Amino acid sequence: MSVLSALSLSRRPATAFVVIGMFWGCFAAYVPVIKDQLAASDALFGTLLLGSATGLVSAMWLAPRADRLLGARSMQVGTAFLAFAWLLPGQITAPLVFALTMALVGLASGLLDVVMNARVSELEAKHNRPLMNANHAMFSVAYAVGAIVVSFTREAGLPPTPVFAAFGVVALLLLPMMRMDVTYVAAEEGYAGRYPLWPIVLCGAIVLVAFMSEATVEAWSALHVERTLGGGAAEGALGPAMLGITMAIGRFSGQAVAERLREVSVVIGASVISATGAVIAAFAPTPLVAYVGFGILGLGVSVIGPMGLALVGKLVAPHLRTEAISRTAVIGFSGFFFAPMLMGLMSEAFGLRMAFLGVAVLLLTALPLALLVKRQPRHDAAVET
């Protein structure tokens, strides 16, 4: 019942996680189509996705200000903005224009992402229990559903834009569920602490590793299955779908684990598990073995990002929580956009197998980062004592 109760407590931000997940699942499964539409090489397509990073960096500075301005309607406005932004990339054939539309997507996605994670952290503090994994699990469920839906629409020959439009209608229908009053926390009397730079940098780096790895599978797993292993369109779409399904399982399980183990211990174990999955996917001889690799990777990586975001919320003073999560989230979520570029360059130079092997190495870098975070003083511990 811990997962159901966590989702009940955080149902409003969880709805926003669902919206973002279904859009990105749709995009991941349509990557081969969009890439062919642009007539782009692996390296060029990966570079074009950097447009999203530009929007995301802008979101880092705009999100706290927009949140203060919009208040209870922040998630609603962010969702409407995102639904509009996703109408554009699927109908573009000019590479430069595609990069610009992805910048708009990155801005909208980043704004909503920062706000919804901040709302979850506020609820964690209010109810004194972990909620981040359950909410990120809803992202994964929606991501898997989006990818599975696209496996059918691609087989039917539907282009991306009407499918994105249909998901946009669903997002708009969910808007009433996302209105949430904001708790503004003033600085504690006598607070003289420094700006929490190191917690943000270290936790941001952990989230970055997780989301770079996740983004790699999202953006390139369909191509790996179809091009490297000779699978069809439906088999290719099952690559990101498998990631979404296993990440949902991992995050729902992680919700229970987070209530029993310290976050740092979970991050260390999950990094080793996910790196193993990346190695299996890299050397897979058939699509079925690749799915196993993607599944193991998804189970492990699923909890690393949410744990990093939860950690920074506990390492900083309450009045700095939204800003700290904003900075941490943007560092982490930039991985969704830098990873496809790096993956494209590696694929162009060495092939997709070696590129996925590079993901395994990346995942193992979370181990020393977690140990450094363990040495940081926890604000929640200081308050309790």
Which residue is associated with the tokens 């808007």?
175
Q: What is the pLDDT of residue 233?
A: 75
Contacts of 132 (CB under 8 A, 6+ apart): 117, 120, 121, 124, 258, 306, 307, 309, 310
* pLDDT tens profile 27-72: 988 888 898 899 888 778 877 877 777 787 777 678 778 888 888 8
CA dihedral (12, 4, 217, 336) in degrees, to 10, reads 30
Predicted structure pTM score: 0.73
DSSP H helical ranges for the chain: 2-9, 11-38, 42-48, 50-70, 74-85, 95-127, 132-155, 160-173, 197-223, 233-258, 263-282, 287-301, 304-315, 321-333, 335-350, 352-364, 366-374, 379-384
Alpha-carbon gap, residue 100 to 51, rounded angstroms: 6
Q: Which residues of 132-144 are buried (b: 16+ CB within 10 A; e: fewer)?
A: bbbbbbbbbbbbb
Q: Which residue in 332, 106, 32, 314 sits closest to 211, CA to CA?
A: 332
Alpha-carbon gap, residue 15 to 257, rounded angstroms: 23
* pLDDT tens profile 318-371: 777 767 877 787 788 777 667 767 777 887 888 888 888 988 999 999 999 988
- pLDDT confidence tier of residue 381, bands split at 50, 70 and 90: very low
Q: Which residues of 71-90 are buried (b: 16+ CB within 10 A; e: fewer)?
A: eeebbbbbbbbbbebbbbbb
Which contiguous run of DSSP H or E holds residue 385?
A: none
* pLDDT tens profile 184-239: 655 555 555 556 788 888 888 999 999 888 877 777 787 888 888 888 777 887 77
Q: What is the pLDDT of residue 373?
A: 86
Q: Average pLDDT in the 247-268 region? A: 78
What are the φ/ψ torsions at residue 186 (nearest 5 degrees)? -85, 160
> Do 17 and 115 contact (CB within 8 A), yes or no?
no
Q: What is the pLDDT of residue 379?
A: 62
Q: What is the pLDDT of residue 272?
A: 94
- pLDDT confidence tier of residue 385, bands split at 50, 70 and 90: very low
